[in-house]
Amino acid sequence: MTHADLARRIRAVSHLQGHFTLRSGRVATEYFDKYRFEGDPVLLDEIAQRMAPLVPSDTEVLAGLEMGGIPVVTALGRHTGLPCAFVRKQAKPYGTCRLAEGAEVGGRRVLVVEDVVTSGGQIALSTADLRGLGAEVREALCVIDRQQGGAETLATENIRLVSLLSAGDLRAAAVR
């Protein structure tokens, strides 16, 4: 499957049109329902296989952000063999009371994994939390960059955004 074929498949499965309010507060007329590609085990496996070469070679832990980053990071961990951490938006107030579950992040080189990036806000917040736990975070990897300022926002936080696909790739897939 080519890069364009993957973009077409993701678009076919997840592209919606209408009126959508994004986590960033922005309003969009097109939406990529990440749960539709994350809920398709064959497609998710193909996505993870394509993302694996994008993981920096010195990465020690993959950190998936709640909630959409969790299935992506789990599938990616299968292809890279790297341990995974599951990062909450806030530490739970019961049980282990941890912000990051799974693999230990303190003192380790951590790659933040997300599904769709718009403004980059949640990655910036979660990276600050991970850094507070002693993680070294320099990059974030996503399935789709909506190309709406996320990479620029993250750059101000010393985070380089790497994406498998961009909104432009998905738009180009519509005309093929």
Binding residues for orotate: 118, 146
C-alpha to C-alpha distance for 15 and 153, rounded to whole angstroms? 25
Residues annotated in a binding site for 5-phospho-alpha-D-ribose 1-diphosphate? 23, 88-89, 92, 114-122
Instruction: Report strand pairing: 84-87 vs 100-102.
Output: antiparallel
Query: Which residues fall in the annotated binding site?
Result: 23, 88-89, 92, 114-122, 146
Cβ pair 67, 97 in contact under 8 A: no
Length of the chain: 176
Six-digit token string for 87: 């990062």
What is the CA angle 109-119-40, rounded to 5?
A: 75
